[in-house]
Amino acid sequence: MFFSKAGKAAVEWARGTKVPYKEFALTLEKIEDLSGKKKIDELAQFFTKVLDFSPDDLTACVYMSVNQLGPSYEGLELGVAENSLIKAVAKATGRQESTIKTDLRAKGDLGTVAQQSRSKQRMISTPKALTVPTVFKKLTEIAKLSGVSAMNKKVDAISGLLIACEGIEARFLVRMLAGKMRIGLGEQSVLSALGYAFTLSSLAKNEKKVSGEKLDSLKDANVKRVKTAYCECPNYDRLIEVALTEGVEALVEKCKLSPGIPLKPMLAHPTKGIDEIMRRFRDQTMTCEWKYDGERGQIHKREDGQIFIYSRNQENNTTKYPDIIEKISTCIGEGVESFIVDAEVVAIDESGMILPFQVLSTRKRKNVTDDNGVKVGVFLFDLLYFNGEPLVREPLRKRRELLRSNFKKIEGSFYFATSVDTNDTDEINAFFDEAVQNKCEGLMIKTLDTEATYEISRRSKSWLKMKKDYVDGVGDTLDLVVMGAYIGNGKRTGVYGGYLLGCYNPATEEYETPIYYQFDPTLKPDDIFAPHLVFEVKCADITISPRHKAASGLSEDGKGISLRFPRFLRIRDDKNAEDATSSEQVLEMYKNQELSANQKIEKEEDE
Ligand code: ATP
């Protein structure tokens, strides 16, 4: 018998029985209050006990710790809308939806509201204790509900589960359903906890006692094994099965890169400019590639001929790109049986010219039947697996050679990333301008020979990114009127979480009485302000937006303009709302950034 914090009899968990959901919820509650490494230790203790008492439940416990129902590439997501959750809490607790909404505003967390609502309820009988596998199964069923009345069915199923919950269980159930656990436990911590737990469990099984130092080194070795295996094969079912049946030592050998299972991509370090790059890569051979502004596409071909496309975050994007799937065979050379290529998928026009990212973002995400009016080009830049062999430990030069000799450029569909192998600063600068002129974000600079392996899941110093917004940003800052604000939640409970900013259009005299603000209904702020306050803002890029209205009356196609990555600099006390950056200025700034750095210089010289 175990006892909860309050000292009441909490849960029965005997060896050989299922893991009580309450034990899991209590562990999460403790983790929420701990910091750093202590979170990992707490979770490791729990996993160790699961390994001892209920090893078959370990996979469900691990998935629930990372708030997933399966590998992320299988795309089974919770993320139930807040309104549906409010309905379910109301239904399960007999409280009014409006009261729950008021509580939510005050607390900023629906999980806590659900917990308190359950505690206030008088129970006629104690519900049967929930177990982790039961909750996991129910959550999976909820996530799989689809079709016309799916929302209602979800609300019913959730309220059913909530009725079976006691206090703390409701808090974490609701948070899981909302897709936000808010306990500060990242995937890397969960992997570490798993490594610790395998160590502790095996020592206990073998009744071995070791020194603190030895224990730390054993733990470190197992954490490394777990993380390496997970990088190549991000699938907890497989990983835990191997560890349980063959031992943690077998993980690295048995959980290898294989087509059909997406791997976590290598990422790049940002740089401020060419000087930093030259310093970092002083004695290295390097290549500069255009940095395309699209969506990362990891394309896999399995030996059975099946093709998959995965996103940067291992989501399965195969159904988003039927056009790529259809044409891929044209770019594959003879004798290619299986592969994993790394590429950027970019919107292009009929003549193969690259289009801005915004165009790609209008493409539907799921079950696209054709190119959905948005033609794409695939820019191949790496080969990670080829005909049964992982290539990630080979240097980029060799991977690139294999890529270029076994795949073909197909005009209008498949290309190799434009590159130049050079250490010459002038050449790099010119290549950077050329990239920007061709609607690319800048350059990726990569080592070719030494320290040039593909570092799965790492933000590596062997890949540097030089983006136009780091180099020159959008030259000027903007002074924008604060039109409204959105109420914050989570860490921002009690303060505003974001603002809607606008420019001033003197032609339509937007600030005359009655106050007239132009914004898309989807952007409606919680609170709307009279036009007084002006924020000075810097941004990475000015882009065309389907929702924002700035300068929409001035552009030819009537589309508005928005800012990418706006950063607050200061309040402009010295400006009235009418002194804010005008719509015309915003449009001018947008047009100016389309010119390459070279053109800008020419333009300035002309003026
Ligand atoms: P990050 O992915 O580094 O966390 P982010 O999501 O903001 O940051 P960027 O800063 O734009 O992305 O840079 C990395 C992305 O650039 C890659 O994930 C990839 O999708 C894209 N990319 C475009 N061209 C290339 C290229 N030639 N080589 C590698 N990546 C490229």
Q: Are residues 526 and 589 in the same domain?
A: yes
pLDDT at position 78 is 86
The per-residue pLDDT of the chain, averaged, comes to 87
* Boundary (domain end) residue, out of 449, 467, 485: 467
Cα–Cα distance between 321 and 315 in angstroms, integer? 13
Q: Are residues 159 and 193 in the same domain?
A: no
Give the pLDDT band of residue 20 (cuts 50, 70, 90): very high
Instruction: With beta carbons less than 8 A apart as the criterion, state whether 157 and 145 touch.
Output: yes
Residue 163 host element (H or E): helix 150-163
Q: Are residues 332 and 425 in the same domain?
A: yes
Query: Is residue 444 within 6 Å of ligand 1 at its C-beta?
Result: yes
Give CA separation, 161 vs 32, 69, 177, 178, 518, in Å: 23, 16, 11, 14, 43
Q: Are residues 193 and 173 in the same domain?
A: no
Per DSSP, the three-state class of 549 is coil
The type of residue at 24 is F
Is residue 32 assigned to a domain? yes
What CATH number does residue 49 fall under?
1.10.3260.10
Query: Which residues pair with residue 306 across a beta bridge?
Result: none
Residue 469 above 80 pLDDT? Answer: no
Per DSSP, the three-state class of 302 is coil
Peptide bond into 514 cis (omega under 30): yes
pTM of the full predicted structure? 0.70
Pocket test for ligand 1, best of 291, 357, 469 (most atoms within 8 A of CB): 291
Instruction: With beta carbons less than 8 A apart as the criterion, state whether 468 and 270 touch.
Output: no
Q: In this predicted model, what pLDDT tens digit does every residue of 361-378 receive, in sequence order? A: 888 877 777 777 899 999
Is residue 297 assigned to a domain? yes
Q: Show the tokens assigned to 278.
A: 């030259």
The type of residue at 386 is F
Residue 1 above 60 pLDDT? Answer: no
Residue 106 above 60 pLDDT? Answer: yes
* Boundary (domain end) residue, out of 254, 275, 298: 254
Q: Are residues 171 and 112 in the same domain?
A: yes
* Boundary (domain end) residue, out of 446, 467, 488: 467
Give CA separation, 519 vs 337, 375, 399, 585, in Å: 52, 30, 49, 19
Cα–Cα distance between 61 and 67 in angstroms, integer? 10
Cβ count near 33 (within 10 Å): 10
The single residue listed with the structure tokens 């003879």 is 334
Cα–Cα distance between 47 and 55 in angstroms, integer? 9
Least confident of 29-38, 128-137, 168-177: 29-38
Residue-number span of the structural domain to which 107 is assigned: 21-178
Residue 601 above 60 pLDDT? Answer: no
What CATH number does residue 542 fall under?
2.40.50.140
Instruction: With beta carbons less than 8 A apart as the criterion, state whether 358 and 545 touch.
Output: yes
Q: Is 291 a catalytic residue?
A: yes
Pocket test for ligand 1, best of 344, 384, 448 (most atoms within 8 A of CB): 344
Tell me the DSSP string of 361-400.
TTS-SS--SS-TT--EEEEEEEEEEETTEE-TTS-HHHHH
How much helix, strand and coil, in percent to the nearest 5, is found in the chain?
45, 20, 40
Q: Ligand 1 centroid to 191 CA: how many Å?
A: 25
Q: Are residues 463 and 571 in the same domain?
A: no
Is residue 605 assigned to a domain? no
Instruction: With beta carbons less than 8 A apart as the criterion, state whether 208 and 53 touch.
Output: no
Is residue 301 assigned to a domain? yes
Q: What percent of the chain has pLDDT over 90?
A: 60
Helix axes 110-120, 82-93, angle to 10 degrees: 10
Q: In this predicted model, what pLDDT tens digit does every residue of 285-317 receive, in sequence order? A: 999 999 999 999 999 999 999 999 999 888 899
Q: Are residues 378 and 523 in the same domain?
A: no
Is residue 6 assigned to a domain? no
Query: Which residues pair with residue 290 across a beta bridge?
Result: 443
Q: Are residues 149 and 211 in the same domain?
A: no
Pocket test for ligand 1, best of 292, 293, 415, 419 (most atoms within 8 A of CB): 292
Nearest-CA neighbor of 119 among 101, 84, 92?
A: 92
Nearest-CA neighbor of 101 among 86, 84, 85?
A: 86
Query: Is residue 564 within 6 Å of ligand 1 at its C-beta?
Result: no
Q: Are residues 337 and 404 in the same domain?
A: yes
Active-site option among 291, 446, 467, 549: 291
Query: Is residue 346 within 6 Å of ligand 1 at its C-beta?
Result: no
Query: Is residue 300 within 6 Å of ligand 1 at its C-beta?
Result: no
Residue with more model confidence, 268 or 472: 268
Q: Which phi and psi angles does 211 have, rounded to 5°?
A: -70, 160
DSSP β-ladder status, 286-291 and 9-11: unpaired
Kindly state the DSSP code that residue 310 receives in the 8-state scheme: E
Q: Are residues 279 and 338 in the same domain?
A: yes
- Alpha-helical regions (H) of 233-263: 236-246, 251-254
Q: In this predicted model, what pLDDT tens digit does every residue of 232-259 receive, in sequence order? A: 999 999 999 999 999 999 999 999 999 9
Is residue 8 assigned to a domain? no
Cα–Cα distance between 417 and 420 in angstroms, integer? 10
Our count of domains for the chain comes to: 4
Q: Are residues 439 and 458 in the same domain?
A: yes
Is residue 583 assigned to a domain? yes
Instruction: With beta carbons less than 8 A apart as the criterion, state whether 463 and 446 touch.
Output: yes
Torsion of CA 391, 394, 395, 399, to 10 degrees: -30
Angle at 278 between CA 274 and CA 280, to 5 degrees: 115
Burial class from Cβ neighbours inside 10 Å (0-12, 13-18, 19+) for residue 37 reads: exposed
Q: What is the ipTM of this complex?
A: 0.97
Query: Is residue 296 within 6 Å of ligand 1 at its C-beta?
Result: yes
Query: Is residue 432 within 6 Å of ligand 1 at its C-beta?
Result: no
Q: In this predicted model, what pLDDT tens digit does every residue of 434-458 receive, in sequence order? A: 999 999 999 999 999 999 999 998 8
Cα–Cα distance between 180 and 157 in angstroms, integer? 19
Cα–Cα distance between 566 and 583 in angstroms, integer? 17
Residue 65 above 80 pLDDT? Answer: yes
What CATH number does residue 355 fall under?
3.30.470.30
Q: Are residues 173 and 197 in the same domain?
A: no
Cα–Cα distance between 299 and 403 in angstroms, integer? 13
DSSP β-ladder status, 478-487 and 496-502: antiparallel
Q: In this predicted model, what pLDDT tens digit does every residue of 309-364 receive, in sequence order? A: 999 888 899 999 999 999 999 999 999 999 999 999 999 999 999 998 889 988 88
Q: Show the tokens assigned to 238.
A: 């497989």
Q: Show the tokens assigned to 596.
A: 């390459």
Is residue 39 assigned to a domain? yes
Q: Ligand 1 centroid to 76 CA: how many Å?
A: 25
Cβ count near 136 (within 10 Å): 21
